[in-house]
Structure 1
Amino acid sequence: MIDEILQKQLSAALSEQLKVKIHINEAKSVHGGDINETFRIATNEGYFFLKMNDAKKYPDMFAREFAGLETLRGAQALHVPQPLAHGIVSGKSYLITELVIKGSAVHDFWEDFATGLARQHRKTQPHFGFPAANYLGSIRQFNTPYSSWSVFYAFNRLMPLARMAYDQHIIDKDMVQQVERLCRLLPQIFPQEAPALLHGDLWSGNFMVGAQGRACVFDPAVYYGNREMDLAMTRLFGGFDTKFYYAYQAAWPLLPGWQQRIGVCQLYPLLVHLVLFGGNYYNNVKEILQSY
């Protein structure tokens, strides 16, 4: 909820950051995930989208998300909500972005989405990583730069999650050793390819059909990584339309053997979900590890 005091503080903070007098007239709660409070706010300058959470638990989450959104927008490949402001008021972290209006999908929606993602993936840099750590869900995501994808994936993704799961008594020592064994095999599994600009959390809940009938992506966990990570993520939790995958392959074919690497790429988000939610994700992780 946004009480009158918080509403005034947010109005003042927004006015300062946006360099225009902002008055919040109404804040309507909307669906927005597991850890954030989300609102559509009506102001004298129009409607915006507001996310808030506990500043003590996640002091830099929205600053990192703001940077990720700006990076994706800079790629000029897919529609991304414009980030407008972030900060802390009354113990609450907040992020204000453009409010995306839902529309009806155009006839080539999936093809356009796929080719846009391929354009985004062609944005590159010398190293895998990102300027700062950020988050996948509520899990801190390390982005220490490495020139090798296999090293990056092992030390910034798989091993930190395996250690976290072990420390929380979710997996045993044998499974940690299985993860370590897989990490040693990564240089033989992944062919070399330049770092690609990734959304980082590209599943069906993190895009919508925008007002123009095209895909709008949000809630990113941005970094430069192997582009197969985004594609593998799209296949989890319901998957995308098959037209999407055919169109991506036509725009920029994945390197040979990509089908056999889907499970390895999905291992990271599955480990995140195992730490956060437990349940059947244990069996998903175990099945992938046993194939190596």
Structure 2
Amino acid sequence: MIDEILQKQLSTALSEQLKVKIHINEAKSVHGGDINKSFRIATNEGYFFVKMNDGARFPDMFAQEYAGLLELQSARALDTPKPLGYGRVNGQAYLLLEFLTKGPALSGFWDDFAVSLARQHKVTQPHFGYNGPNYIGSLKQYNTPYSSWAVFYAFNRLLPLIRMAYDQQIADKQMVQQVETLCRQLPHIFPPEAPALLHGDLWSGNFMVGSKGKVCVFDPAVYYGHREMDLAMTRLFGGFDTRFYYAYQAAYPLSSGWQQRIGICQLYPLMVHLLLFGGNYYNSIREILQSY
């Protein structure tokens, strides 16, 4: 639950952000995923959302999520919950956000979602990467900048995770060698493309229909990468309508051969899930790697 000291800190943070005195009347626990405790807090100025976790275990997670939401907002493409503050009290880290209200989807929901994502992906910078490491789930996500996507994907994504999986004895030596072999082929697999602003964890559990009938995304793992990463992630766990893909392709066509690269792009989130949850993700990774 939210104790009195944290409640006072949240009230102060909201008051400073909104320039009005905020009183918290109630904090109701809501589902917040596997890592965080989440609450809807009722105040004299309406509802807000707060996530909490172990500040010692994840000392900068919420600072990075706050920055990532601001980065997405700056693109003026997809709606996100407005970040309102973050901090730490008595060992508990917290992130304050706008509370999102669900609504019915507009008739052109999937087309609008796709076009907005395409607009976000056109936001670029000189290098693949980001201004420091952040998180995907509870795992550190490394973002050392590189001018080559193939080098970035190998050294910041695939190789660190497969070695971690090997060290934890959930991947064998053969799988490590297969990943290393694939990494040597990456420069010949991905055609040149400008770094794109990515959500980074774009699956069906990280978006909702907002009160205006349009998409709102949250829980990002932001970086500038190859845009096929976001699109491959949308195909992993279902929940995206076929219209989404047609509309995206019409708005911002993908380079030829993108269908053959879906599995390669899915390796990173599959490795994340292998490390966090184990299970059948090992077999999914093995199946993709067998082609290389």
TM-score (norm 1): 0.98
1:7 aligns to what? Answer: 7
1:136 aligns to what? Answer: 136
Backbone CA RMSD of aligned residues: 1.1
Aligned-partner residue type, residue 108 of structure 2:
D
Query: What's the % identity of the aligned pairs?
Result: 76
2:117 aligns to what? Answer: 117
- Counterpart Cα distance in 2 of 1:18 and 1:147: 40
1:193 Cα deviation (Å)?
0.2
1:124 Cα deviation (Å)?
0.3
**Superposed counterparts of 1:185-204, under 5 Å:** 185-204=185-204
1:288 aligns to what? Answer: 288
Aligned-partner residue type, residue 134 of structure 1:
N
1:167 Cα deviation (Å)?
0.9
2:215 aligns to what? Answer: 215
1:8 Cα deviation (Å)?
2.2
Query: How many pairs does the alignment contain?
Result: 292
The answer (yes or no) to whether the contact 1:170–1:278 under 8 Å persists in 2 is: yes
TM-score (norm 2): 0.98
SS in 1 for 2:169: coil
Aligned-partner residue type, residue 213 of structure 1:
G
1:32 Cα deviation (Å)?
1.2
Aligned-partner residue type, residue 63 of structure 2:
A
Aligned-partner residue type, residue 125 of structure 1:
Q
1:43 Cα deviation (Å)?
1.4
Indicate whether 1:206 and 2:215 are aligned: no
- Counterpart Cα distance in 1 of 2:13 and 2:109: 38
1:273 aligns to what? Answer: 273
Higher mean alpha-carbon deviation, 231-240 vs 182-191, is at 231-240
Indicate whether 1:236 and 2:233 are aligned: no
- Counterpart Cα distance in 1 of 2:35 and 2:28: 17
2:40 aligns to what? Answer: 40
Per-residue Cα deviation, 1:227-260 (whole angstroms, up to 9, x for no partner): 0000000001114100000000000110000000
1:13 Cα deviation (Å)?
3.9
1:22 aligns to what? Answer: 22
1:176 aligns to what? Answer: 176
SS in 1 for 2:135: strand
1:213 Cα deviation (Å)?
0.3
- Counterpart Cα distance in 2 of 1:178 and 1:184: 10
Aligned-partner residue type, residue 228 of structure 2:
E
- Counterpart Cα distance in 1 of 2:33 and 2:148: 33
1:19 Cα deviation (Å)?
4.6
Where does the alignment leave 5 or more consecutive residues of structure 2 unmatched? none
The answer (yes or no) to whether the contact 1:78–1:216 under 8 Å persists in 2 is: yes
- Counterpart Cα distance in 1 of 2:13 and 2:211: 29
Aligned-partner residue type, residue 145 of structure 2:
P
1:17 Cα deviation (Å)?
5.2
- Counterpart Cα distance in 2 of 1:19 and 1:52: 24
2:63 aligns to what? Answer: 63
1:93 aligns to what? Answer: 93
Where does the alignment leave 5 or more consecutive residues of structure 1 unmatched? none
**Superposed counterparts of 1:151-170, under 5 Å:** 151-170=151-170
